[in-house]
Structure 1
Amino acid sequence: MDKTITTPSAPYLGGLALAIGGAVLFSAKAVIAKLLYRYHIDAVTLIAFRMLFSLPVFAAVALWKMRGAAPLSTGDRWRIVGLGLVGYYLSSFLDFLGLQYITVGLERLILFLTPTFVLLISATWLRQHIGRLQWLALAVSYAGIVLVFVHDLQGGSNVLLGSALVTGSAAAYAAYLLLSGEMVKRLGALRLVAYAMCVSSAACIGQYFLLRPAAGLIQPLPVYGLSLMNGLLCTVAPVFMTMTAVQRIGAGAASQAGMIGPVSTLFLGAVVLAEPVTSWQLAGTALVLAGIYLLSSAKKANTANMANAAKTKNGT
C-alpha cells in the first residue's frame, strides 16, 4: 500500500518564515531599547524617535489605502483615534517605561500574555464563558510568569514597578485587539493599522514636544542608528511581515510561529546585553509557551464545536 507523504508548499514555508522573522524582529525592540537607554535617554525620547522613523512609512501606506476607498464616517474616525491612543501609544509607552526596570526576557514573557488578557477581558466585561482547558492554560501561563518574576525580584524592588508597567502595556494592547475586531472586518487590517499607527505617532511625537525641549532631539550618532532600527526593523517590518504571513498561512499558524518571540528575546538579551539565562527563566518560558499553546488549542476546539453545532442545527 503506497503512502503519500505531503510536504509543505513553498508559499506556506515562505509564510511561516515571515511569521517567525516578524516575531523575532518585533521582540528585538526590547533589546534595542535597552541599548538606547545606555545613552541616558528616557522613554519619552525613545518612543518619539521610534515613531519619527516609522511614521513616514505608515503615512505613505495610509495615503495609498485612502485612494479609492470609501471615506471614513465621523464615528470611525474617532474610533481609530481611540485605537491608536490605546493600542500603540499607551501600550508602547508603558512597555518602554517598564523596560527601564526589568530584563528583556521578563518583558517579553509578560507581553506574551496578551491572549490571556483578551480572554479575561472577554469573560469579565463581555460575559463570555471560559472552559476548563482555557482555565488550565491561564494557570500554566501565569505560573511561568510568577516563576521568572520571583527569580528576577532579587534584582530589586524596581522589578515590581517595571513588571506592573509592562503588564499595563499587555492589557492595553489586549483592549485594542478586542475593540478593533469589528473595524478590521470593515476596513481591512492594513488600512486600520496604518491609520492607527499614524495617530499613535502623532501622540508620541506631540508628547515629546510637550514634555521635553526640542534641543533633546540632538543626540549621539548611535542613538539615531539604533532608533532607525527600532522604527523600521522592529516596528514597520514585523507589522507587514506578520500581515503577509497571516494571508499566506492563516492567523492560527502565524500565532503559533510567533511563540518563538519570548525564546528569541531571551537569547538575544544574553548575546547582546549579556543578561544571564537561568534555569528559572527557561522553566518559566516553557510554562508560558505551554499555556499559550493550550489556549490556542482550546480556541480551535471551541471553533470546531461551534461549527459542528451550526451544521447540526442546519441539518447538514
Structure 2
Amino acid sequence: MKNKAYVLLSLAGILWGFQPVVVKFIVAEMNPPTLVSFRYLLLSATLFLLMKITHKKDFIPPKSCWLPLIIMGITGVSLNNGSQFTGLQYSTVANATLIAAMTPAVTSLLAFVFLRERLALLQWIGIIISISGTLYLISNGNLDIILHISFNLGDILFFVAQLSWAIYCLISIRVMKKMSVLSVTAWAGVFGAIFIAIYGHFTCGLFIPDLSMKAMASFAYIVWLGGVGAMIFWNIGVKNVGASTASIFLNIMPIVGIVTASITLNEIITMEECLGAVVILLGVYITTHTKQILEKLNWKK
C-alpha cells in the first residue's frame, strides 16, 4: 500500500510542479480571486459527482468535522491558492516552486507547535537551514534587503501559501480519519471557494473575461489535473503515510517547475536561485531524514 501511496504522491508533485507555469498564463487574463473561486467550485462539483457515482456514504460531514473543514478551506484553498496565484503576478515560477520546497520543514515546525511532536536537534538545524535558504532566495542574496525587510511581494506571498498549505495538511490528517478523501477534498474546496469569492467581490470584483485558448486549456489543467487529480493523489498519500513523509515528495516540484518554466516561459535561472535551492533542499533533507542520518553517524537522539 505504501508503494502505491508513493507513486500517487510523486504524480501529485509532478502535476503541481507544472501548475505555476499554466497559472502564469491565466493570471495574465483573469484576476486570482475569480480564478480560485471558480476553479474550486468546478473541482468540488467534480468530486461530488464522483462520490455520487461511487456511492460514498459520507456525503454530509459529521458535526465534528465542519469547523476543521472550514479552516482547511481557508488555509489550503483561499490562502494557499490566492497567495500563490497572486504571487505569480510579481515573481517567477522558479521562485514559486523553490519556496514550495521548504513545506516539509514548515510542516515539521507546525507539528511541533500545534501537535506537540518532538523534534530532534538535527531537525531544528534542518528547519533553520531551510528558512535561511528561503530568506536568501527571496532577498536575491542581498543582506541589505533582509535588514530593511524589503522583499519581493510575490516571494512573500509564496511563503504565506506554503505556510497555509502546511496547516491544511496537518488538519487533514485528523479529518480523514472520519471522512473519505473525496469528501474532505470536496468540502474544503467549497468552503475555500466561498471565502475567496467574498474577498474577491469586495476587492477586485468577480468576472470571467473572454479567455484565449491557451488560458482556457490552462484553466482546465488546474481544475482537473492540478486540482482534482493531484489533490486526490495527495490526500490518499497523506492518509497512508502521514503528512511529514508525504511532504518529502514536494521536493519534486522545484525540479519540474524550474525546468518547465525555463522551456515554456524562457525564465533565466540565476546563480542566487541555484544556491537558494541547494540550501533549501539541504535543510529539507536534514529535517525529513534525521533518523537515517543519526543512524549512519551512530548518534543517539
Question: What's the TM-score, normalizing by structure 2?
Answer: 0.80
Q: Which has the higher helix share?
A: 1
What is the correspondence of 1:23-34 to structure 2 with a 5 Å cutoff? Answer: 23-34=13-24
Amino acid at match of 1:181: I
1:105: which partner in 2? 94
CA deviation profile, 1:100-139 (whole Å, cap 9, x unmatched): 2111111222222222223333434555543211012112
Is the 1:140–1:287 contact (alpha carbons within 8 Å) kept by the matching residues of 2? Answer: yes
CA deviation profile, 1:7-26 (whole Å, cap 9, x unmatched): xx9x94x7655433321211
1:22: which partner in 2? 12
Shift in Å at residue 62 of structure 1?
4.8
2:120: which partner in 1? 131
Shift in Å at residue 265 of structure 1?
0.7
Quick one: which of 224, 231, 255 aligns to 1:232? 224
* CA distance in structure 1 between the aligned counterparts of 2:291 and 2:55, rounded to whole angstroms: 34
What is the correspondence of 1:215-254 to structure 2 with a 5 Å cutoff? Answer: 216-222=207-213, 223-243=215-235
What is the correspondence of 1:59-208 to structure 2 with a 5 Å cutoff? Answer: 59-63=48-52, 67-69=56-58, 72-151=61-140, 159-208=151-200
Q: In structure 2, the residue corresponding to 1:277 is in which secondary structure?
A: coil
Q: In structure 1, the residue corresponding to 2:210 is in which secondary structure?
A: coil
1:263: which partner in 2? 255
Q: Which has the larger radius of gyration?
A: 1
* CA distance in structure 2 between the aligned counterparts of 1:99 and 1:158, rounded to whole angstroms: 18
Shift in Å at residue 162 of structure 1?
1.9
1:309: which partner in 2? none
**Sequence identity (%):** 20
Q: In structure 2, the residue corresponding to 1:68 is in which secondary structure?
A: coil
Amino acid at match of 2:22: I
Alignment CA distance shift 1:15-1:81 (3 Å): closer
* CA distance in structure 1 between the aligned counterparts of 2:138 and 2:204, rounded to whole angstroms: 33
The reply to whether residue 35 of structure 1 matches residue 25 of structure 2 is: yes
1:308: which partner in 2? none
* CA distance in structure 1 between the aligned counterparts of 2:59 and 2:236, rounded to whole angstroms: 23
Gaps of 5+ in 2: 295-301
Amino acid at match of 1:269: A
Shift in Å at residue 230 of structure 1?
1.7
Q: In structure 2, the residue corresponding to 1:220 is in which secondary structure?
A: coil
Shift in Å at residue 88 of structure 1?
1.5
Shift in Å at residue 275 of structure 1?
0.9
* CA distance in structure 2 between the aligned counterparts of 1:126 and 1:245, rounded to whole angstroms: 20
Is the 1:55–1:201 contact (alpha carbons within 8 Å) kept by the matching residues of 2? Answer: no
1:47: which partner in 2? 36
1:272: which partner in 2? 264
Amino acid at match of 1:19: L
Shift in Å at residue 249 of structure 1?
8.0
CA deviation profile, 1:218-243 (whole Å, cap 9, x unmatched): 32333322211221122112122334
Aligned pair count reads: 290
2:289: which partner in 1? 297
Instruction: Output the aligned Cα RMSD.
Output: 3.5
Shift in Å at residue 159 of structure 1?
4.7
Shift in Å at residue 244 of structure 1?
5.2
Alignment CA distance shift 1:299-1:82 (3 Å): farther
Alignment CA distance shift 1:97-1:64 (3 Å): same
Gaps of 5+ in 1: 1-8, 303-316
Is the 1:53–1:227 contact (alpha carbons within 8 Å) kept by the matching residues of 2? Answer: no
CA deviation profile, 1:51-79 (whole Å, cap 9, x unmatched): 34423212324546774349543332233
Amino acid at match of 2:16: F
Is the 1:85–1:200 contact (alpha carbons within 8 Å) kept by the matching residues of 2? Answer: yes
Alignment CA distance shift 1:284-1:191 (3 Å): same
